[in-house]
């Protein structure tokens, strides 16, 4: 319940005077800034538009300017989100981008292996990686994905195991 209780916990700390340099704000004010009043681009579905507004809030205009509004095949993620995440979220490794910033590695077959050439074209320059760095990161990411995020390899059945 982080999102459902954080405000109450923070208020309790401030009311106890444990952080004297902070002042309580009016409890009637909204916790999060509302997303800007933007017109939904035609290429983005109503459902995806609501997701984007909720996820990015006031940063949504910047996200939309980062790239195309086409979705990554098989997902609701925009290519623009991928470019924005590469530029703005402190990506150190490819797994940061694929598993945590965009979660594409969690929803795409084989962790998005088939899309890595396209992702490379979009993100390599944004991340300021050379070819060697990209190749190391891709190898590292795919090994990590296989070891920790894929289904375990199946081993041949032992004779007599079924009966």
pLDDT at 162 exceeding the cut of 70? no
Locus of tokens 């984007």? 52
Tell whether 25 and 56 lie within a shared domain: no
Beta strands in 86-134 (DSSP E): none
Q: What is the largest CA-CA distance in the chain?
A: 72
Question: How large a percentage of the chain has pLDDT more than 70?
Answer: 89
> Whole-angstrom Cα distance, residue 11 to residue 101?
30
- Inter-residue contact 91 to 141 (CB < 8 Å): no
pTM of the model: 0.77
Structure tokens, 67: 């790239």
Q: What DSSP designation does 1 have?
A: -
Tell whether 129 and 56 lie within a shared domain: yes
pLDDT digits (tens, 9 = 90+) for 131-156: 999 999 999 999 999 999 998 887 76
CATH number at residue 61: 1.10.8
HSE (side-chain half, CA atoms, 13 Å) at 56: 28
- Domain assignment present for residue 25? The answer is yes
Tell whether 6 and 85 lie within a shared domain: no
Tell whether 72 and 123 lie within a shared domain: yes
- Inter-residue contact 104 to 123 (CB < 8 Å): no
- Domain assignment present for residue 132? The answer is yes
Tell whether 25 and 57 lie within a shared domain: no
Tell whether 62 and 140 lie within a shared domain: yes
* pLDDT band (50, 70, 90) for residue 158: low
Q: From the CA atom positions of the chain, what is the Rg in Å?
A: 21
Tell whether 21 and 61 lie within a shared domain: no
Q: How many domains does the chain have?
A: 2
**Mean pLDDT for the chain?**
89
- Expressed as residue numbers, the domain containing 5 is 1-31
> Whole-angstrom Cα distance, residue 30 to residue 48?
23
């Amino acid at each position: 319940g982080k999102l459902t209780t954080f405000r109450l916990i923070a208020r309790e700390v401030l009311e106890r005077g444990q952080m004297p340099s902070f002042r309580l704000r009016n409890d009637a004010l909204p916790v999060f800034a509302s997303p800007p009043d933007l017109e939904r681009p035609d290429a983005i579905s109503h459902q995806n538009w609501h997701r984007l507004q909720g996820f990015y809030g006031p940063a949504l205009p910047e996200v939309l300017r980062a790239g195309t509004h086409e979705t990554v095949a098989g997902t609701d993620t925009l290519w623009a989100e991928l470019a924005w995440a590469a530029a703005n979220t402190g990506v150190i490794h490819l797994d940061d981008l694929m598993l945590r910033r965009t979660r594409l590695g969690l929803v795409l077959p084989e962790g998005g292996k088939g899309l890595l050439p396209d992702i490379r074209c979009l993100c390599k320059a944004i991340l300021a990686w050379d070819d060697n760095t990209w190749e190391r990161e891709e190898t590292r990411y795919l090994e990590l994905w296989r070891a920790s995020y894929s289904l375990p390899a199946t081993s041949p059945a032992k004779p007599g195991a079924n009966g």
